[in-house]
Amino acid sequence: MRTVNPEHQQARRQQILEAAVACFMRKGFHATRTAEICAEAGMSPGNLFHYFPTKEAIIAAIVEEDQRETAERFAAAAQADALYPALIRIVEDSLALLTDPVYTRIGLEVLAEAVRNPQVFACVARSEAGRKAQLAQLLDTAAQRGQVRLAMSPAQAADWILLLLDGAFGRAMVEDRFDLQAYRSLVLGAIAAAVTPLPQPQPERPRPKRPRAA
């Protein structure tokens, strides 16, 4: 009986996802045929269907991969001593993605498919619920530690930040010359209406020892 190699399986899944993204970038989700993804990945239809039975399963996996990366960023931020700078890094990383044509095009394809396909919609909804919960938890922890003051509940503050980021995503979709720095200033300024960093006590410096008298 042949043993299963998890690393090999994960590598094959990633190979298919990267091939699918390349195809979706060229022709969009609906215009892309499964045979084209197979050719891009360099594998037979049987191999592809072993990992993903439908194109919808592929796009759901793309959403889940993004969700996993987002969860890792929040987990790393939660380990930081200073949570407000960690929050701002997450926001700035999210904004920086808007200059990546692959991220914006595939994001648009996912949203368009979610409107048509209840299965994909459910996957996107789970991902967004997880992102909101992690952001609200980060804000709540920062407030409990006295590092920030919230003008609303953590859940409402999380909604406010996500609304700002989603708005920036929408502008990146329709503006020929999306000005990242301009929107960065707008988003960070608007976040300040809900989340205010508080001054933190500085650790006392050790006093220099006086030399002993001879």
Tell me, what's the pLDDT at 200? Answer: 78
Tell me, what's the pLDDT at 1? Answer: 47
Using pLDDT thresholds of 50, 70 and 90, give the confidence band for residue 40.
very high
Residue 100 and residue 181: Cα distance in Å, rounded? Answer: 14
Mean pLDDT, residues 43-56 taken together: 90
List, by residue range, all CATH 1.10.10.60 domains of the chain. 7-53
Tell me, what's the pLDDT at 8? Answer: 79
pLDDT tens digits for 79-128? 999 999 999 999 999 999 999 999 999 999 999 889 988 988 999 999 99
Mean pLDDT, residues 146-173 taken together: 95
Using pLDDT thresholds of 50, 70 and 90, give the confidence band for residue 177.
confident
Q: Write the DSSP assignment of the chain as a string of letters.
A: -PPP-HHHHHHHHHHHHHHHHHHHHHH-TTT--HHHHHHHHT--HHHHHHH-SSHHHHHHHHHHHHHHHHHHHHHHHHT-S-HHHHHHHHHHHHHHGGG-HHHHHHHHHHHHHHHH-HHHHHHHHHHHHHHHHHHHHHHHHHHHTTSEEESS-HHHHHHHHHHHHHHHHHHHHH-TT--HHHHHHHHHHHHTTTEEE---PPPPPPPPPPPPP-
pLDDT tens digits for 121-151? 999 999 999 999 999 999 999 999 999 999 9
Tell me, what's the pLDDT at 163? Answer: 95
Chosen CATH of 55-197 out of 3.40.50.2300, 3.40.50.1820, 3.40.50.1980, 1.10.357.10: 1.10.357.10
Output the average pLDDT for the chain: 90
Using pLDDT thresholds of 50, 70 and 90, give the confidence band for residue 30.
confident
Lookup: tokens for 183: 């929107």
Residue 171 and residue 98: Cα distance in Å, rounded? Answer: 9
List, by residue range, all CATH 1.10.357.10 domains of the chain. 55-197
Nearest of 109, 142, 141, 144 to residue 124 by alpha carbon: 109
- What CATH class does 7-53 carry? mainly alpha
pLDDT at 205 over 80: no
Using pLDDT thresholds of 50, 70 and 90, give the confidence band for residue 10.
confident
